[in-house]
Amino acid sequence: MPRTTIDLDSSLLEELKKRQAAEGKTLSRLVSELLARALFEPEAGPRELSWTSQDMGARFDLEDKDRLYQALDET
């Protein structure tokens, strides 16, 4: 396997070492697996929007133009 050197933020290296200890893998193996997963797994698409609605009841009849204009003037 080819070798390379990369510079990591100290906080990132700290998290990698915690994960390495938890998973019992070498740091090299862990980083290689994480990079492969990030590069080759398809990106998740946008989540489906969940829309909640309810009938709020009409405040007035929209056919009543005078009442509609009055309501618009109040805002």
> Running DSSP on this structure, what letter comes out for residue 62?
T
Say whether pTM exceeds 0.75: no
Contact residues for 30 (Cβ-Cβ < 8 A; gap 6+): 16, 19, 20, 23
What proportions of the chain, in percent to the nearest 5, are helix, strand and coil? 50, 0, 50
Measured distance between the N- and C-terminal CA atoms of the chain, rounded to whole angstroms: 69
Q: What is the pLDDT of residues 21-62, one digit of tens each?
A: 999 999 999 999 999 999 998 887 888 888 888 888 888 888
Rounded Cα gap, residues 23 and 30, in angstroms: 9
1-42 architecture in CATH? Answer: Orthogonal Bundle (1.10)
Residue 57 confidence (pLDDT): 83
How much is the pLDDT for 58? 83
